[in-house]
Amino acid sequence: APSTWLEEHLQTKVFSRLEKWQSDEDFKEPGLQYLLNGSEVVINGKTYPSIRTSLTTILSSKDATRLRPKWIGHCHGDFNFENILWNAEEQSFRLIDMDGALPFDGPELDLGKMFQSLVSGYERWSRVGNTLCVYQGEDSGLSARQLWSEPSQAELEQVCGLWADVLGCSAQDASLKGRFFVGEHLIRMVPFRRKCSVDQATMALVVATVQFAEARAMVESPWFTKVDIYADGAEISKVRTCPSYVKGFTTNPSLCRAAGITDYQAFCAKFLETLEGPQKGMPISFEVFADDLPTMEKQALTLSRLGRGVFVKIPVVNTQGVSTCSLIERLSRAGVKINVTAVFTKQQIDGLAKAFSPHNDGFSAIVSVFCGRISD
């Protein structure tokens, strides 16, 4: 039934495949596992939500109903450009390769296959056996040959307009469905084909990540997918018992002083050693405790070297009311991850925007706005 088709299809055809990705020995290659785990991935220097993150956002959104079919019927099963023969003289077309035709299924699957030809570049990279993707580690992510591309806006609007009439939906919904179902096709079908190399399987996940991110941007995110909960404190004994929904850690000199900590650098090092399993990749913020900018800078550089997940907390102004924006700009240029704390005003945010603006995409920063204290 159209009302239950989406959930049944995803459960039997998509989520089961994702589980197989996790457990099958054929897919233990580090680049593949990098794309499957975590909340974000880096592809060609750009950060994307992971496949799981995008799926969670899309399917938890009230807009998930836009993906459901209005009707169930015959599907070609492999409706890409290679299986459409166009006769220019007669202005007519014929469909070939009907072996995978489905008597009853969601027509959205055929739309996803057409988007395979439109946006995924599959016809190009599926013929390349290797050197498609190179995994460069968790910090740098993956570099992939840019063999996928976007059609012109006019072409996309024309295709989505035609499909909107077929599916009984708006052109915007046809675009959303196209992005979503080409993504799910790439993860449930392509990597399991005969003679598919690990490199091609990795490329399939790369393109699926990009397309799911496009679909995710088209839906209204539920509030809980926009919130990361951090644990705040200086009691190392409680770190390992944090609930799984905790996505990061933060502390400050006041909390450390209250906990009786006298060697701050040793405390930070021990805190990092305590993290285990998924916690090791989580962000953790350690704050400088100096008040003058030169000493702040020295402490920030020292703290940043403790681990790749460390964000250095720096107040937006010191106790004398002097802005730290110039220091923040220098440190971020040097590759230091920064958590700008004690932000109270829009003017301070504007100053931070200017401090960060000269950088290339991809630098990491957190801006901690003290909403509760502003409210008080």
pLDDT of residue 227: 73
Q: Lowest-pLDDT range, 86-100, 247-261, 348-362? A: 348-362
Q: Give the rounded percent of residues in the chain with a pLDDT score beyond 70.
A: 92
Any idea what DSSP says for residue 80? S
Where is 42: in which H helix or E strand? strand 40-43
pLDDT at 362 over 60: no
- Quick one: average pLDDT of 189-217? 86
- Dihedral of alpha carbons 77, 207, 136, 47, sign: negative
- Quick one: average pLDDT of 142-166? 90
Q: Is 317 left (phi over 0), alpha (psi -120 to 50) or beta?
A: beta
| Residue 35, beta-bridge partner list | none
Asked if 363 and 333 count as a contact pair (C-beta separation under 8 A), the reply is no
pLDDT at 223 over 60: no
What's the chain's average pLDDT? 86
Q: What residues have CB less than 8 Å from 15, skipping those under 6 apart? A: none
325-333 helix and 293-304 helix, angle to the nearest 10 degrees: 30
Where is 137: in which H helix or E strand? none
pLDDT of residue 32: 84
pLDDT at 30 over 80: yes
Question: Tokens 């805190």 appear where?
Answer: 271
Sheet holding 133-135, edge to edge: 46-49, 40-43, 142-144, 133-135
Q: What residues have CB less than 8 Å from 239, skipping those under 6 apart? A: 231, 249, 271, 274, 275, 279
Q: How far apart are CA 300 and CA 286, in angstroms?
A: 9
Identify the residue with better confidence: 102 or 83: 83
Confidence of residue 52 (pLDDT cuts 50, 70, 90): confident
pLDDT tens readout for residues 130-141: 789 999 988 889
In the chain, what is the straight-line distance between the N-terminal and C-terminal CA atoms, in Å?
53
- Quick one: average pLDDT of 199-204? 89
Q: How far apart are CA 226 and CA 245, in angstroms?
A: 13
Number of Cβ within 10 Å of residue 363's Cβ equals 13
Confidence of residue 85 (pLDDT cuts 50, 70, 90): very high
pLDDT at 338 over 80: yes
Confidence of residue 27 (pLDDT cuts 50, 70, 90): low
pLDDT tens readout for residues 246-265: 888 999 888 888 889 999 98
Q: Lowest-pLDDT range, 25-29, 159-163, 281-285? A: 25-29
pLDDT at 244 over 80: no
| 3 state DSSP class of 85 | strand
pLDDT of residue 140: 87
- Residue 252 phi, psi (nearest 5): -155, 165
| Residue 244, beta-bridge partner list | none
Token pair recorded at residue 205: 């996940």
pTM score: 0.60
Token pair recorded at residue 190: 């392509």
Confidence of residue 22 (pLDDT cuts 50, 70, 90): low
pLDDT at 179 over 90: yes
